[in-house]
Amino acid sequence: MYRILREAWRLGKVGDPMPSSSSPKKATPFSRSAVIRHVDAGSCNGCELEIQALGGPHYGLEQAGLRFAASPRHADILLVTGPLSRHMAAALQDTYDAMPKPKRVLAVGDCACTGGIFHGSYAVLGPVEALLPVHERCLGCPPKPEQILSSLQNLLHEGLEQ
């Protein structure tokens, strides 16, 4: 038992950085974790199925340093799916306002980026950028999980450069 504990103490926790040499470490896109708040602004749930796939072991969202949060007050990235519907505009604005700075917005799917098949509907105000500043777009109907993960990496890398 002591041997196992001693080995665990020596190696550290899962996700801890490996002991490095004296050279300074270069910042990588996932050198810190980021928290995502997801808001469905009125989609068909196709994008949500692909986002759920990111949580599985094949894509390893949490191993990449990303996780979802229920509260916008803990979020770094606002991930929006679906077109900007009239009923969700106020809730989306409130969610964005509750996020701490610096905050990033990722529009996922054709509906969030351009209005998609819902463009021109009486219930839709347009794409998400009609209300919020969008920092990254992930096109597709629905986009593949690899595309969503790549867009999240781009957002996180952009945040580290600033």
* CA pair distance 138, 147, nearest whole angstrom: 7
Instruction: Assign 34 to helix, strand or coil.
Output: strand
Radius of gyration of the chain (CA): 18
Encode pLDDT of 68-125 as tens digits.
Answer: 999 999 899 999 998 999 999 999 999 999 999 889 999 999 989 988 888 888 888 9
Beta bridge partners of 108: 81, 138
> In the chain, what are the domains?
33-161 (3.40.50.12280)
3-class DSSP state for residue 38?
strand
Report the Cα–Cα distance between both ends of the chain, in Å, rounded.
46
Residue 36 phi/psi, 5-degree rounding, is -115, 135
Pair 91, 98: CB distance under 8 Å:
no
The pLDDT confidence band at residue 23, using thresholds 50, 70 and 90, is very low
What tens digit of pLDDT does each residue of 29-44 get?
A: 445 678 999 999 888 8
